[in-house]
Amino acid sequence: MKTSTPQEEAPLLEINNLKTHFPIRSKIFSRVTGYIYAVDGVTIHINKGETLGLVGESGSGKSTLGKSILRLVEPSSGEIKIQGTDISKLSKSRMFPFRRNVQIVFQDPYSSLNPRIPVGKIVSETMKVHGIASGAEAEEKVQKLFERVGLRASQTLNYANEFSGGQRQRIGIARALALNPKLIIADEPVSALDVSVQAQIINLFMDLQEEFGLSYLFIAHDLAVVAHISHRIAVMYLGKIVEIADKSKLFKNPQHPYTQALLSAIPTPNPEVKARSRELIEGDIPSPRNPPPGCRFHSRCPKVLDQCRVEVPRMTEAQPGHWVACHLC
């Protein structure tokens, strides 16, 4: 499911039919009694220097997808290609060199840093593990990284509890940059921060992308934030991608009823601009243990057809570069 892009080279990251199912075991004999279908057949790609925004409600599988790409969570099946090499089946030793190319910034800046060691050592540890730098050289690199993300070089000696939430997230970004990665997975990196700090961190991500040619998978539930940083946006619902398009196309002409509902919920700050008519979604997102048959959104969709209840919609190109999985399109 590739869209036309200016780049002629192969995608930096290519995911094909990726599935991550978690077995449910009984207390007696540990028999498998079912599965949690957290990620269920996702196909996406990210080009060099591109930001793909990933949005959806809590429980849709966004974070699991990000961790599956890194193999922090082992996927059940599918392909994860980094610059054309499938890493989904590589052993730990063969996977090790690829970990330099893909790093992560976690959602919670409070729990993602070890409180027992200085933050400078947290960042330099990855350099030592991968043989990039050690000793005085590593310390110098860490100090430069701190200054680049908006911190003081002297703060490398401080501990995590001495920083605010926004500062801790800057440390997390410095740690991700330490290995000179090509792709950073940002797992809701601003959701725990104040609004004013969110803007600072988002702008930092964008400046770093321009400076280092980074690619991002930017996971969030706030469409306004995703719209600011992303080139393309993928909408995820209950383990599946339901729509993916360039940012401008998605906001101007959303095709899937779920996307339409998400966009209608964005508040309009300018009272002179007419807000979208609200598309209300009834009920809660179903359990990923027992997803609905057919289209997974049909149990909450205001435009449901009989076909939606029994037939899984295929991802089709409704317009050039605009893909959607819906029987209405």
Segment 208-263, tens digit of pLDDT: 999 999 999 999 988 888 999 999 999 999 999 999 999 999 999 999 999 999 99
Lowest mean pLDDT among 35-39, 144-148, 188-192, 265-269: 265-269
Residue 50 in domain: yes
Domain membership of residue 262 as a residue range: 13-101+228-324
d(CA 169, CA 122): 13
Residue 309 in domain: yes
* Number of domains the chain is built from: 1
Q: Give every strand in the sheet of 13-25, ordered side by side.
A: 32-46, 13-25, 77-82, 85-86
Residue 19 in domain: yes
Residue 120 in domain: no
- DSSP annotation of 133 reads -
Residue keyed to tokens 């780049």: 7
Residue 207 in domain: no
d(CA 322, CA 255): 9
d(CA 231, CA 54): 11
Residue 133 in domain: no
Q: How many CB atoms lie within 10 A of CB 50?
A: 22
pLDDT for res 3: 44
- Please report, for residues 62, 162, 169, 193, 203, the alpha-carbon distance to residue 110 in angstroms, rounded to integers and kept in the order given: 21, 11, 8, 11, 21
Region 69-82: mean pLDDT is: 96
Express each pLDDT in 136-185 by its tens digit.
999 999 999 999 999 999 999 999 999 999 999 999 999 999 999 999 99
Residue 170 in domain: no
Which pair of structure tokens corresponds to residue 177? 């940059």
Residue 311 in domain: yes
Question: 83: alpha, beta or left, given left = phi > 0 and alpha = psi -120 to 50?
Answer: left
**Domain of residue 25, CATH code:** 3.40.50.300
pTM above 0.85, yes or no: yes
d(CA 233, CA 53): 4
